[in-house]
Structure 1
Amino acid sequence: MSQQDKMIEELFHNADELTEKQKKIVAAAIDSFAEKGYAATSTSEIAKKAGVAEGTIFRHYKTKKELLMAIVAPTMAKLIAPFVIKDLNKVLNQDFERLEDFLKAFIENRIQFLKSNMPLFRIFIQEIPFQPELREQFKEHIAQKVLERLRQIVEHYQAKGQIIEMPPDTVIRVAASTIFGYIIARYLLSPEEKWDDNAEIERTIQFLMNGLSPEK
């Protein structure tokens, strides 16, 4: 099975409303947008990769922007959001005694998820600053659902005296910026560098612990 066929199977196994040609078009678009970016990708390239005529794309999607949103809407609402939340809950639903253990499990969980879904991650990172619809989809289907759970976790560790007293949303922003800053540098900006992943994860955790732990 080719990489594209695997992507189609994983992303669209429940998307019965899409035809097989639409699935191939969307999978090819994901691959191309992730590789070259939305602006630099032509519909002719997508058509060639999908094995369809360019006119077939425009029978289903009037513009390239509509094709991008056709990727975002079904994958975010029906496929990615439940998958992200279910996968993340493997960590969120565990009761770690120490904040440090929770952070390690959280980082490792997100790295594994993103490594398995890198093309979509690339599209979101590249296009969120420029596509308001994409930001709204992300907020509606993922951010809002995860944020409340993270607030509860922050308050839990604050009650245990392991996180400094500050608004939970501030704690989440600081931690998320640090964690995803490392992940973006590691897998998007400088993947060719020689990374000591275990050491980098440990440094990231210690940086957060030093900033979030109450003063002794």
Structure 2
Amino acid sequence: MSEVDEWLAELIKMNDDAEKMTHKQIKIVQAAVEVFSSKGFAGSSTSEIAQKAGVAEGTIFRHYKTKKELLLSIVAPIMTRLITPFALKDFVKVLEADYPEVEDFLRAVIHNRMNFAQKNLSVIKILLHEIPFHPELQQQFKEIVAKQVLLRATKIVKHFQVQGKMIELPTETAIRFIASSAIGLILIRLLFLPEADWNDEQEIEYTIDFIMHGLAPRG
């Protein structure tokens, strides 16, 4: 399994713990991710997924009753079990590490999430496509972000504020400021301008400088 298919290896591993995925089911899931990520859920068809997977369309419906059930079988585990223990396992280490300066924290966060996004871009595309249209996915995302990320990030922001290294903003505002800048960089780089002739390290440093000009204490 290549690095690009890291998400699929984890999904197979999770299912093997409960009910082993068949070879055809693995092919269906892999094809579905490719189709959903390129065309979105609404623009995709089970016949197209079956063709890409090299199986009969009826085979899909033996495993999944509807197209939405197929989507949720991919996205729901990713949301609840991949994002939490897998996608966040290295990120939590980043959030729990001790950083002498705000810039060190920001640099570690951006590098970590850029690396994760590069390895799991097809799945991230599906999440971006579908979360706005599926309330159950929105709720899962909110719970995961609130429980796994927001609490830890709040602790870090407050720590730097107490040290006088970050402006006294409401912590959620500061986190939103950081997240919008970092996520914006990652999405533009990987989704909108993947072929751009950028110096990625320099762009990361520009982003950090931009954030720090907004968060630096006045004085």
TM (norm. structure 2) is 0.91
Tell me what 1:92 maps to: 95
Residues 147 and 25 of structure 1: is their aligned pair in 2 closer, same or farther, counting only changes over 3 Å?
Answer: same
Output the aligned Cα RMSD.
1.9
Deviation at 1:84, TM superposition (A): 1.8
1:15 maps to 15
**Looking at both structures, which has the greater relative contact order when contacts are Cα pairs under 8 Å and sequence separation is at least 6?**
2
Amino acid at match of 1:64: K
The structure-2 alpha-carbon separation of the partners of 1:205 and 1:50, relative to structure 1 and needing over 3 Å to count, comes to same
Query: In 2, distance between residues paired with 1:5 and 1:146?
Result: 24
How many Å separate the matches in 2 of 1:149 and 1:2?
Answer: 31
Give the gaps of 5 or more residues in structure 2. Answer: none
Are 2:169 and 1:160 equivalent residues in the alignment?
no
Q: Which residue of 2 aligns with 1:198?
A: 201
Shift of 1:70: 1.2
Indicate how the Cα distance of structure 1 residues 197 and 34 shifts in structure 2: closer, same or farther if over 3 A, else same.
same
**Closer, same or farther: CA 4–179 of 1 in aligned 2, 3 Å:** closer
- Structure 1 CA distance for aligned equivalents of residues 150 and 3 of structure 2: 33
Is the contact made by 1:77 and 1:141 (CA closer than 8 Å) also made in structure 2? yes
Aligned length: 216
Q: Which amino acid aligns with 1:98?
A: E
- Which of 159, 166, 185 is the matching residue for 2:188? 185
Q: Which amino acid aligns with 1:50?
A: A
Aligned pairs (5 A) from 1:139-178: 139-178=142-181
Deviates more, 1:10-19 or 1:42-51: 10-19
- Matching residue's letter, 2:104: D
Task: Tell me the secondary structure at the aligned position of residue 29 of structure 2.
Answer: helix
Match for 2:138: what amino acid? R
Residue by residue over 1:63-83, the C-alpha shift from the partner in whole angstroms, topping out at 9 and shown as x without a partner, is: 211211111222222233211
Identity %: 54
**Pair 1:27-2:30 in alignment:** yes
Write the distance in 1 (CA, Å) between the matches of 2:104 and 2:7.
33
Using the size of structure 1 for normalisation, the TM-score is 0.92
Which deviations, in whole Å up to 9, do the C-alpha atoms of 1:99-130 show, x marking residues without a partner? 01110111011000110111111111122222
Q: Which runs of 4+ in 1 moved over 4 A?
A: 1-7
